[in-house]
Amino acid sequence: MAQIVKAIRGTRDLLPPETALWNRVERTAREVFARYNFGEIRTPVLEATELFARGVGEETDIVSKEMYTWEDRARAASEKPQSLTLRPENTAGVVRAYIEHKLGDTGQLQKLYYIGPQFRRERPQKGRYRQFFQIGAEVIGPATSGSESPLRDAEILEMLATLLDELGIPRASAANEYKGWRLHLNSVGSSTDRPRYVAALREALLPVKDRMCPDNQRRAETNPLRVLDSKDEADQEIINGLPKIADYLDEASTAHFTAVRAALDACEVPYTVNPRLVRGLDYYTRTTFEFTVDLGLGTQNALLGGGRYDGLSEMLGGPKAPGIGFAIGEDRLILTLQALAESAAAASGEVPTEPKVDAYIAPLSPAQDAAALALARTLRSKGLSIEVGDGTFRLKKSFDAADRVARSIVILGEDEVASQTATVKTFSTGDQSKVAFSDLATTLRS
RNA sequence: GCGGCUAUAGUUCAGGGGUUAGAACGCGGGUCUGUGGCACCCGAUGUCGAGGGUUCAAAUCCCUCUAGCCGCCCCA
């Protein structure tokens, strides 16, 4: 017995009508990004493994255990085998393209956005897939282009707040029981601040780590920053006594962070400074942030994350090119919007209806099939959305089908074709009338 | 990667060793020849996730696998 082939674990098919929501989200994102003068970049799904090892960090979970990596065999004696990886994130690829195309030599600030699939081999869960989609943007350029300015950080964050507003995701407030988005903000310091802080953290952890939970003991060794956002109740007291990153920022970093916050205040973007917010990728410096939302995502409540990566270009062998960017988990954004729509429907008691086409053309017998298709062609060319039935259907069945997908039914029998006049019935009003083919588009549009 | 829960019709779910597996919605048809939605009637839903085992007998109990979900880990 033949087994059917199924989508592999952690991947999924997106079908109508859900894809309409994906399209709306992407359209809104493109419109908002365009208003902020971002242009689209599309980088390959496949990159050299080395890009992520150097950019994201050899020791991160993403690189050390979650990448889809394989050796691409040599096809000719002149070729060398190469280790390839399905991109687990898109920032490294964008910076690679920035370096490769010498975009820095233009002297201009580059504002780029992307929308596309990313791949990580994690255990799938709601809001966490092995192929998932990110909508992201990067602002990068030589320091003389203003890429390092706190203004850029604030602009990115204000743009994100605008995007979420326009998508209809509310801001968390007491009024909505904090069921909305929240911006968590922190500065993890410059590329010199951070190592000093990590060293201090390691030292402070040494005498106390034996009293912490096993997870934190492990983190204290491998990635001390992660101890900070531990959820373990018993360890909170110890964590509160650990050195604070704010005390290890140099003057420039402190001033930078202060300026970011002042600009956010001026733009009325609400945020919470969370000194424990750390990011899992090695390239982050200074401003880091995360938007969370308590809606439909369960434990995977991080909707998007990002931050500054002033040293990434150099890590990848490029020129100095400070930058800042973010990635939105599009799958999680969709889940949030669906949860929102569901609770709105529950509150109003209304059943959400799927969008309908303008008209359904019902030929009464196969003799009218060709005329029906020709009429559909004319109406479609005038911009109307049309579904066409089949002459083998009984009229009752046509009505049933039409009511499901269309706002009006256009009945086409022998008389109608002969007189070039259709019988039109509008479902919402129940009105029925005879309309000349030449006036049909106008009638259906009203 | 670790721990747990779950898998039955297109969908949501009931059935928890006994011979022919159910409901609702949805679907097809009829009452109803070119006027639907309501109503009534009829019908099909299906290898009970896959494979193996126990048993006279397995959807039901056991094992393995696969997948989804929940919690960790991590992250978007």
Write down which residues 17-56 in A have CB closer than 7 A to strand B.
none
Chain B positions with a protein C-beta closer than 7 Å: 1-3, 27-30, 32-37, 47, 51, 66-76
| Nearest nucleotide relative to A328: CA against C1' | B76
CA distance A116 to A135: 7
For A366, list phi and psi in degrees, rounded to 5. Answer: -55, -20
A239 touches strand B (CB under 7 A): no
Residues of chain A with CATH 3.40.50.800: 357-445
> Do A260 and A154 form a contact (C-beta atoms < 8 A)?
yes
Alpha carbon of residue A50 to chain centroid: 25
A61 touches strand B (CB under 7 A): yes
Write down which residues 401-430 in A have CB closer than 7 A to strand B.
403-404, 411, 413-416, 423, 425, 427, 430
- Report pLDDT for A239: 87
Residues of chain A with CATH 3.30.930.10: 18-192+250-345
A215 touches strand B (CB under 7 A): yes
> Do A93 and A43 form a contact (C-beta atoms < 8 A)?
yes
CA distance A310 to A284: 8
| Nearest nucleotide relative to A120: CA against C1' | B75
For A197, list phi and psi in degrees, rounded to 5. Answer: -70, -45
Separation of A365 CA and B29 C1' (Å): 19
Separation of A9 CA and B16 C1' (Å): 30
Question: May I ask the CATH class of domain A357-445?
Answer: alpha beta
- Report pLDDT for A17: 86
Q: How many CB atoms lie within 10 A of CB A47?
A: 19
A182 touches strand B (CB under 7 A): no
pLDDT tens track, chain A, 446 positions: 456 788 899 999 998 888 999 999 999 999 999 999 999 999 999 999 999 999 998 888 899 899 999 999 878 888 888 999 999 999 999 999 999 999 999 999 999 999 999 999 999 999 999 999 999 999 999 999 999 999 999 999 999 999 999 999 999 988 887 889 999 999 999 988 988 998 999 899 988 888 888 888 888 888 888 888 887 778 888 888 899 899 999 999 999 999 999 999 999 999 999 988 887 788 899 999 999 998 878 778 899 999 999 999 999 999 999 999 999 999 999 999 998 888 887 777 666 677 889 999 999 988 999 999 999 999 999 999 999 998 888 888 899 889 888 999 999 999 999 999 999 999 888 889 999 999 999 999 98
Separation of A289 CA and B69 C1' (Å): 29
Q: The CATH number of A18-192+250-345 is which of 1.25.40.10, 3.40.50.2000, 3.30.930.10, 3.40.50.720?
A: 3.30.930.10
Separation of A3 CA and B48 C1' (Å): 18
Q: Over the Cα atoms of chain A, what is R_g?
A: 28
Separation of A317 CA and B42 C1' (Å): 75
- Report pLDDT for A1: 41
A432 touches strand B (CB under 7 A): yes
A310 touches strand B (CB under 7 A): no
A230 touches strand B (CB under 7 A): yes
Alpha carbon of residue A134 to chain centroid: 4
A117 touches strand B (CB under 7 A): no
| Nearest nucleotide relative to A292: CA against C1' | B76
